[in-house]
């Protein structure tokens, strides 16, 4: 079996392995990978998210099952040190030797550090790997209050955002006259400069770094700039561009470019036919070294095709379009962004107040050649796909905001089927429209799994379902029913059904879908519409499922669980003793949950009032483990006890849990608060999660740790306590208002048109003008909260429902039985007779 050796395991290296597996090369070849870093491939594009709580494991792009399934021999922390082309032998740092038939170089690039005096001083860093970030974080925590970034390009701005997030006073030094000089023009740079300046970062453009001045311990003290000024700083991050890592190729005697890069042909083959080069280390046939991931992916696929012997057109160049969010600012460029074509004209819209700048480059024939978008990149996907064509609307319609006198905006339906929607994986509109859901598109085409900038456009292209009614009783959606109940202040299901149900359903009883849905809506809006918020009063009781019907969770043997609320996971010894005594006296099984509460299992329905009577007397209240409502707000110990904590996470978790307790929603809600970026409370797997920073709180939304895990998205950062609570109020009420029945925030965020950007516009920027209303609804909920169990215990009529048999109230259910296990109890399962097993076998 021939051997294929891959040197380098970054994003492009991993994409090559996937392409090789798709083409069967992992079955026909022995595949060996030598990786320099101490971990497999990870998402370097999202590297900065580490500082907002993303773990290295979450950044990983390497599924161990994929490596195992394809028999790939992966050696991490063991780079190739030499290659003998004559014997086709690769030797690693640890001394391993491999003889290859085909060699693929994916060695990437290295950060360029200007050759200035003091560049190696203590406190100087580059911004390239996870290990670099570890080092920056540790040094900033113990030795720095001011940081400076050399370079105002993509990575430079990300590095500046990271330093700001670490609590440092931050400066950006850029030699060019504007930020991001490669991607944006003078107007775009000015808009970006204003916005970043408003964030509290100091930007120095048109000056270079002359020297790093050191002090005690040879540590950074200041920077001397080319204009003669001196900038005091404790920490310097060099982010002045990258250079291709081609030294191994040079040592091998391969042809390299005059300014670096391993020369390759259209098949990504080097001057040695047995050796290929892909990604940032390669000099393509058009004389360019590509520093973006999309061209690297295309080269990976091209090389895999060439090795298989099925190469097509090859790689002759790539689209350099990019869309990023830098320091919270949307920045995008596509096509001929700087207007290099002869005879082209610019169409420009600029609003310095909002920090918005849009420029389109139009050719002499009216075709769209390229453009730059700063502050508002909403139309990026559509505009990039239209590049090279004459748009069906006037150019000004493509840049003017809605309501500014422009003709109708251009939608994705105007795109041709061959328009490339996902440039990372070269997926067209036609390929996307062959599918019906976003997960299906991602699985079958990989579109949306790269940089992610195309996800919103993909969602707009996917078909909408025909009948979006809630059920057979209602042609209206849950969202429409919510608005009807809110505006008309309807307090009963019968009124909703008779006034707004399908004609055939009016006067009926509803179904198992609409009854709990409308019941939840009425419960969510109860304080605002004048309804009784108690879920078991009057008609509301008939709308609840079994769990809500008895304010407890039904278990597999007919018993119920009892879950008292423990806000933030904080509990006194006295309350712990009460829980222990209740569990002992009623013979209940006890378990500590992942949400920092104690579950008590095995209660008969007739025992629930007595159990809760003792718990309520001790100061406990319902934990709502039975309802589609807030469950828990998990917390770490925070700065009060932990040496890494930067905020009081326990206090915040308690405040949030007490604020949102009892809030009825389309699905259960979970939350967590972490006291630092180490994320011990796992806030990014929650519906809304909070992570402390040196400057306040970062708010994440849409996480899910359940059957379909989803990493939460950053909604806003560095918030004060008041800002944080205000945004969570708005987010939760907007979710309750617009989500479908039984829809988690994670699914809702992926489904809702516009996704996270739209939600951010609504709840942060109040784009719909509804935030006052959302806050008012939450205030009403908080003001009218009542503990359901405390109210139940005070009302004999309500207590009357808690019986096993209506006609024999004092008789316990004899079918609820238990057996001992590990000094506690477990449900006794029904015995299966040998005869029944034999009958099953016979059948």
Q: What is the pLDDT of residues 509-549, one digit of tens each?
A: 888 788 888 988 988 898 888 776 666 665 565 555 555 66
Q: Which CATH architecture has domain 545-622+787-843?
A: Alpha-Beta Complex (3.90)
444: annotated binding-site residue? no
DSSP string, 169-214: EEEEEESSSSSSTTT--HHHHHHHHHHHHHTT-EEEES--EEEEEE
CA atoms lying within 13 Å on the CB side of residue 100: 28
Task: From 325, 339, 322, 335, select the one nearest 187 (Cα to Cα).
Answer: 339
d(CA 74, CA 40): 8
DSSP string, 277-332: E-GGGEE-TTS----SHHHHHHHHHHHHHHHHT---S--S-----EEEEETTEEEE
636: annotated binding-site residue? yes
Tokens found for residue 804 = 């096993």
d(CA 101, CA 30): 10
Asked if 702 and 670 count as a contact pair (C-beta separation under 8 A), the reply is no
Asked if 351 and 188 count as a contact pair (C-beta separation under 8 A), the reply is no
Average confidence (pLDDT) over 248-275: 96
CA dihedral 607, 611, 613, 618 (to 10 degrees): 180
Class of domain 319-410: alpha beta
Give percent of the chain with pLDDT exceeding 70.
92
Per-residue pLDDT at 831 exceeds 60: no
> Which CATH superfamily includes the segment(s) 3-110+244-308?
FAD/NAD(P)-binding domain (3.50.50.60)
At 839, is the pLDDT very low, low, confident or very high (cuts 50, 70, 90)? very low
Per-residue pLDDT at 672 exceeds 50: yes
Cβ neighbors of 134 (< 8 A, separation 6 or more) are none
Give pLDDT tens digits for 687-726.
999 999 989 999 999 998 866 788 899 999 999 999 999 9
Q: What CATH number was assigned to the domain covering residues 412-463?
A: 1.10.10.1100
Per-residue pLDDT at 41 exceeds 90: yes
Please give the pLDDT value at position 220: 95
Element (H, E) at 600: strand 598-603
CATH 1.10.600.10 is right for the domain spanning 124-240? no
Task: Kindly list the distances between the CA atom of residue 530 and the CA atoms of 483, 560, 736, 780, 784, in Å, as whole numbers in the listed order.
Answer: 15, 32, 18, 11, 11
Task: From 613, 542, 561, 589, select the one nearest 787 (Cα to Cα).
Answer: 613
Task: Kindly list the distances between the CA atom of residue 178 and the CA atoms of 22, 174, 340, in Å, as whole numbers in the listed order.
Answer: 44, 7, 19
Least confident of 212-216, 370-374, 589-593, 831-835: 831-835
Tokens found for residue 279 = 């990604």
* pTM check: above 0.75: no
Beta strand 553-554 with 427-428: parallel, antiparallel or unpaired?
unpaired
DSSP string, 739-804: PPTT--HHHHHHHSTTHHHHHHHHHTT-TTS-HHHHHHHHHHHHHT---HHHHHHT-HHHHTT--S
Task: Kindly list the distances between the CA atom of residue 815 and the CA atoms of 251, 804, 828, in Å, as whole numbers in the listed order.
Answer: 79, 11, 9
- Structure-model confidence comparison of residues 504 and 358, the more confident one: 358
At 292, is the pLDDT very low, low, confident or very high (cuts 50, 70, 90)? confident
d(CA 539, CA 535): 9
Q: If DSSP codes are grouped into helix, strand and coil, which group holds residue 617?
A: helix
Average confidence (pLDDT) over 616-622: 94
Cβ neighbors of 10 (< 8 A, separation 6 or more) are 41, 44, 106, 108, 279
Please give the pLDDT value at position 315: 87
Average confidence (pLDDT) over 611-637: 93
Average confidence (pLDDT) over 30-57: 88
Least confident of 81-90, 125-134, 195-204, 418-427: 418-427
Average confidence (pLDDT) over 546-575: 86
Q: How many CB atoms lie within 10 A of CB 829?
A: 10
Return phi, psi of residue 659, to 5°: -75, -40
d(CA 59, CA 56): 5
Residue with tokens 């989803």: 710
Q: How many CB atoms lie within 10 A of CB 131?
A: 12
Return phi, psi of residue 253, to 5°: 85, 20
d(CA 145, CA 164): 10
Please give the pLDDT value at position 776: 93
Least confident of 27-41, 529-543, 633-647: 529-543
Task: Kindly list the distances between the CA atom of residue 107 and the CA atoms of 37, 101, 761, 791, in Å, as whole numbers in the listed order.
Answer: 11, 19, 40, 67
Please give the pLDDT value at position 576: 96
Task: From 421, 372, 375, select the one nearest 401 (Cα to Cα).
Answer: 375
Asked if 636 and 604 count as a contact pair (C-beta separation under 8 A), the reply is no
Per-residue pLDDT at 834 exceeds 60: no
Mean per-residue pLDDT of the chain: 87
Specify which residues 673 forms β-bridges with. 635, 690
Angle at which helix 649-660 crosses helix 721-738, to 10 degrees, equals 40
Tokens found for residue 190 = 């000015």
Least confident of 64-78, 414-428, 617-631, 729-743: 414-428
Least confident of 233-247, 425-439, 769-783: 425-439
Long-range contacts for 800-809 (Cβ within 8 Å, ≥24 apart)? 801/536, 801/541, 801/549, 801/550, 802/550, 802/605, 802/606, 802/608, 802/609, 803/605, 803/606, 804/604, 804/605, 804/606, 809/606
Q: How many CB atoms lie within 10 A of CB 419?
A: 21
CA dihedral 808, 810, 816, 821 (to 10 degrees): -170
Tokens found for residue 694 = 């040196």
Cβ neighbors of 575 (< 8 A, separation 6 or more) are 618, 619, 620
Please give the pLDDT value at position 104: 98
Tell me the H-state helices in 462-538: 478-488, 493-500, 514-529
Residue 254: exposure state from Cβ atoms within 10 A (0-12, 13-18, ≥19) = buried
Task: From 840, 812, 836, 817, select the one nearest 827 (Cα to Cα).
Answer: 817
Task: Kindly list the distances between the CA atom of residue 72 and the CA atoms of 62, 65, 104, 719, in Å, as whole numbers in the listed order.
Answer: 12, 10, 14, 45
Q: What CATH number was assigned to the domain covering residues 628-786?
A: 3.30.413.10
At 276, is the pLDDT very low, low, confident or very high (cuts 50, 70, 90)? very high
What sign for the dihedral angle of Cα 627, 628, 630, 636?
positive
Asked if 689 and 700 count as a contact pair (C-beta separation under 8 A), the reply is yes
Least confident of 85-89, 131-135, 372-376, 616-620: 372-376
At 447, is the pLDDT very low, low, confident or very high (cuts 50, 70, 90)? confident
Cβ neighbors of 516 (< 8 A, separation 6 or more) are 543, 544, 545
Average confidence (pLDDT) over 175-200: 86
Residue 85: exposure state from Cβ atoms within 10 A (0-12, 13-18, ≥19) = middle
Tell me the H-state helices in 117-172: 130-143, 154-165
Cα radius of gyration (the chain):
31
The residue count for the chain: 843
At 830, is the pLDDT very low, low, confident or very high (cuts 50, 70, 90)? low
Please give the pLDDT value at position 436: 76
Least confident of 159-163, 330-334, 482-486: 330-334
Asked if 124 and 212 count as a contact pair (C-beta separation under 8 A), the reply is yes
d(CA 67, CA 169): 43
Task: Kindly list the distances between the CA atom of residue 761 and the CA atoms of 231, 315, 728, in Å, as whole numbers in the listed order.
Answer: 37, 39, 14
């Amino acid at each position: 079996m021939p051997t294929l050796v891959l040197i380098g395991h970054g994003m492009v290296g991993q994409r090559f392995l996937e392409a090789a597996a798709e083409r069967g090369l992992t079955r026909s070849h022995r595949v060996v990978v030598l990786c320099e870093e101490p971990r497999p491939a990870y998402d370097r594009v999202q590297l900065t998210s580490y500082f907002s709580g993303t773990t290295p494991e979450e950044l990983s792009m390497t599924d161990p099952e994929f490596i195992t399934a394809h028999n790939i021999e992966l050696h991490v922390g063991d780079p190739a040190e030499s290659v003998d082309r004559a014997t086709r032998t690769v030797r690693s740092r640890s001394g391993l030797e491999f003889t290859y038939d085909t060699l693929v170089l994916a060695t990437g690039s290295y950060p360029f550090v200007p050759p200035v005096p003091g560049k190696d001083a203590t406190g100087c860093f580059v911004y390239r790997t996870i290990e670099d970030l570890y080092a920056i974080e540790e040094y900033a925590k113990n030795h720095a209050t001011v940081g400076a970034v050399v370079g105002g390009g993509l990575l430079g701005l990300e590095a500046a955002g990271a330093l700001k997030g670490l609590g440092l006073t931050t400066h950006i030094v850029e030699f060019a006259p504007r930020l991001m000089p490669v991607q944006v023009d003078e107007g775009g740079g000015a808009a970006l400069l204003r916005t970043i300046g408003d964030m509290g970062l100091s930007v120095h453009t048109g000056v270079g770094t002359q020297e790093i001045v050191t002090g005690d311990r040879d540590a950074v003290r200041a920077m001397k700039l080319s204009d003669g000024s001196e900038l005091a700083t404790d920490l310097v991050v060099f982010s002045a561009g990258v250079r291709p890592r081609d030294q191994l190729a040079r040592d091998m005697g391969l042809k390299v470019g005059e300014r670096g890069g391993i020369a390759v042909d259209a098949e990504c083959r080097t001057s040695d036919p047995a050796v290929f080069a892909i990604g940032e280390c390669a000099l393509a046939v058009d004389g360019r070294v590509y520093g973006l991931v999309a061209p690297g992916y295309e080269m990976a696929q091209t090389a895999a095709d060439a090795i298989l012997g099925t190469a097509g057109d090859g790689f002759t160049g790539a689209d350099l379009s990019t869309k990023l969010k830098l320091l919270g600012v949307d920045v995008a460029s596509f096509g001929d962004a700087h207007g290099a074509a002869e005879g082209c004209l610019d169409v420009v819209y600029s609003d310095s107040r909002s920090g918005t700048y849009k420029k389109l480059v139009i050719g002499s024939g009216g075709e769209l050649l390229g453009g730059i978008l700063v502050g508002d990149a909403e139309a990026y996907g559509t505009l990039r796909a239209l590049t090279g064509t004459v748009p069906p609307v006037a150019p000004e319609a493509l840049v003017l905001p809605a309501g500014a006198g422009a003709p109708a905006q251009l939608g994705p339906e105007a795109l041709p089927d061959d328009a490339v929607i996902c440039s990372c994986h070269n997926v067209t509109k036609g390929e996307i429209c062959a599918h019906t859901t976003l997960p299906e598109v991602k699985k079958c085409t990989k579109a949306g799994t790269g940089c992610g900038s195309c996800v919103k456009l993909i969602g707009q292209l996917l078909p909408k379902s025909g009948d979006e009614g809630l059920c057979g009783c209602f042609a209206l959606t849950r969202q429409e029913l919510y608005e009807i109940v809110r505006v008309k202040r309807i307090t009963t299901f019968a009124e909703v059904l008779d006034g707004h149900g399908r004609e055939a359903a009016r006067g009926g009883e509803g179904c198992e879908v609409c009854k709990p849905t409308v019941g939840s809506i009425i419960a969510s809006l109860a304080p605002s519409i004048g309804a009784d918020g108690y879920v078991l009063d009057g008609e509301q009781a008939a709308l609840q499922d079994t769990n809500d019907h008895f304010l407890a969770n039904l278990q597999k043997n007919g018993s119920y669980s009892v879950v008292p609320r423990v806000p933030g996971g904080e509990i006194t010894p006295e309350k712990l003793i009460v829980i222990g005594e209740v569990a002992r006296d009623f013979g209940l099984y006890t378990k500590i949950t992942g949400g920092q509460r104690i579950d008590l299992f095995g209660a008969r329905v007739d025992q629930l009032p007595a159990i809760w009577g003792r718990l309520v007397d001790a100061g406990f209240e319902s934990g709502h483990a039975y309802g589609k409502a807030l469950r828990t707000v998990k917390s770490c110990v925070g700065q009060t006890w932990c040496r890494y904590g930067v905020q009081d996470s326990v206090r915040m978790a308690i405040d949030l849990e007490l604020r949102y307790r009892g809030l009825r929603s389309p699905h259960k809600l979970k939350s967590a608060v972490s006291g630092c970026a180490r994320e011990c409370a796992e806030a990014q797997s929650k519906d809304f999660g909070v992570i402390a920073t040196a400057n306040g709180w970062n708010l994440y939304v849409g996480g899910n740790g359940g059957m379909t895990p989803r990493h939460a998205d950053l909604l806003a950062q560095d918030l004060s306590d008041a800002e944080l609570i205000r945004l969570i109020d708005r987010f939760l009420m907007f979710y309750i208002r617009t989500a479908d029945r039984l829809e988690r925030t994670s699914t809702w965020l992926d489904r809702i048109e516009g996704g996270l950007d739209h939600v951010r516009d609504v709840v942060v920027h109040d784009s719909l003008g509804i935030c006052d209303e959302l806050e008012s609804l939450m205030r009403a909920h908080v003001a009218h909260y009542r503990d359901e169990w405390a109210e139940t215990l005070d009302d004999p009529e309500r207590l009357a429902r808690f019986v096993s048999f209506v006609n024999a109230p004092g008789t316990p259910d004899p079918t609820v039985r238990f057996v001992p296990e590990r000094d506690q109890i477990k449900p006794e399962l029904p015995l299966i007779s040998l005869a029944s097993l034999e009958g099953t076998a016979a059948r």
